[in-house]
Each structure stands twice: as C-alpha cells, then as structure tokens.
Amino acid sequence: MRVLAFLNGTVADPDAPHIRVEDLGLMRGDGVFETVLVADGEPRELRPHLDRLARSASMLELPEPDDEAWQRATRTVIDNWTGGEFALKLVYTRGVDPAGEPTAFALGLEIDPKVFAARRDGVAVVTLERGIDPGLAERAPWLLLGAKSLSYAINMAAVREADRRGAADVIFTATDGSVLEGPTSNVIVAKDRTLYTPPPAIGILPGTTQAAVFRGAERAGWSTKIEPIRAADLTSADGVFLSSSVRKLTRVHTLDGTPLPDSTAIHAELAQAYESVYA
C-alpha cells in the first residue's frame, strides 16, 4: 500500500506520473527529505523531523519549507492510510526551474519486512571509510555534510559493499579513526550504563531517534554523552546499536566479521525505554 499527498492537501494516485523529467531532484539529487515513522496513527518526532527538513533546506538554499503545509500533508497521508505502522517520506526538491517552485510531496510506504527482522534479531555490520575528517564539515559547508539531501548514492553503494562482505549494514569511519554514522542511521554505544553518540558537528545527521532513545534512557536512569567515539573502542562496548526512525534501535551483533559481546538484554531495556517515550 502507498498513499501520496501534495502540500495543498490533495491525495494523488501514486502510480500516476507527477514529476517532470527535468526535476532537479531527479537530475541532480538536488533536494532534501525526511523519513518519519508512523506508529499507532501518530508520526513519531514530527517536530524534530520538520525542524531538520528546514535546516537541510536552508543548507541547500532552498525556499523555507511551509511548516503548516507539511503538517497538513502528513496528516492527510495518515488519515488515508488503512494499514498498520508505516514509513512516511517527506520529499522537497529544487523543482524544474532553480528559481521556481520546489517539488514537494509526502508519501506513505510499507516498511520492508527485513526491517522488522533486524529490529528483532540485530544485524551484522562492517566499518567502511567515509574519507572525511571530523573538521571538514565546519571547514567546507558546501559539502553539505549533515544535511539530509537526496544525494544518497554513496550511502546505498556502502550498503551494497556491506552485502558483498556478508553484512547488512555499515558504520562509516573518519580519517582519524573515529565513528561517524551509518548510511541511514546513527551509532549509539552503551558502556557502563552510559550511552554515547558522536557529535553532529563532525559532519553527521543529528538523529531524531537517537535523541528519543537518549530521552527514554535518561528517564530510565542511564547517563548520556555526545562525544567522539573511536572505532577501535566499539569491540569493547557493552552494546553497539544503529538508530533510525524506521529501524528504531537495532542491535549490532557482529562487527567486521567478529561477534560482539551479547547485548540482547541491554537492547531490550533500551528499546523499552525508547517506546516509553510514546506511551
């Protein structure tokens, strides 16, 4: 099932053509997007997602998104969705003419069954070089590091590389050996009842799920720290996790072919802390 809505609130046939072939989102990946989890009929972390959409749009110098219109389109998709939990994509491109109207739509999509299996069973992950150093984002803002742009070809190529190496996902590393993020996720490490995640300033996306996990964990008595993580330290952690809206909190059970210490119990506790945010 899919549900498509435009920003004026109209529902459209997702099988019909709507996008011009010259759309710069299509031609150059010139646009931004968000993926929101809708569970129990509610969009999780909608405010942080819309704030991040506006921040990404500003980094690409796109017109400021119409916040109310995005909220309306989100509600339209939810109201027309007849299934269970789903993924809601908000897509905002430069449109056909760089000086003209952006292309904007909200699309509800089924969640891939593999995601449910990963949430339950965890995943094998490989570390892959991203070729950037932690200071690059600040030195070179034109690289758009930390913007959720539509240019995800590298991210998808990394997932294919993981598949070639017998893994399901990736943790990108910086040139100084520090941990960045996954191609579609943030990295969270648990050690001695403290959760760690790297700072967005090193050129990664500030995760809405990571923030929600930290909120829930703090309520459950955990400490949280946003600070650099060395890839070499991942193997000695009590737990390594990938977080994103649709996968929620997923346990990493194997890193670069080596099984990590069993983090099943910590994962269960943190997954519950995350869900408690929405109870």
Q: Which of 127, 149, 184, 250 binds ligand PLP (CB under 6 A)?
A: 184
Q: Could you tell me whether strands 2-6 and 86-93 are parallel, antiparallel, or unpaired per DSSP bridges? A: unpaired
Q: Answer whether 271's CB lies under 8 Å from 213's CB.
A: no
Q: How far is the CB of 274 from ligand PLP (least distance, A)?
A: 11
What values do phi and psi take at 235, rounded to 5? -70, -20
Binding mask 27-56 for ligand PLP (x = CB under 6 A): --------x---------------------
Q: Answer whether 260's CB lies under 8 Å from 127's CB.
A: no
User: What DSSP assignment string belongs to 60-82?
Assistant: TTPPPP-HHHHHHHHHHHHHH--
Residue among 168 and 205 whose Cβ is closer to ligand PLP: 205
Structure tokens that stand for 268 in this block = 């269960």
Residue among 18 and 225 whose Cβ is closer to ligand PLP: 225
Segment 203 to 232, residues that bind ligand PLP, using CB under 6 A: 205, 207-210
How many residues bind ligand PLP (CB under 6 A)? The answer is 13
Binding mask 242-271 for ligand PLP (x = CB under 6 A): -xxx--------------------------
Taking CA atoms, 187 is separated from 44, 130, 163, in Å, by 19, 15, 19
Q: Which of 93, 186, 197, 250 binds ligand PLP (CB under 6 A)?
A: 186
Q: How far apart are CA 212 and CA 44, in angstroms?
A: 9
* Sites of contact with ligand PLP (CB under 6 A): 35, 181, 184-186, 205, 207-210, 243-245
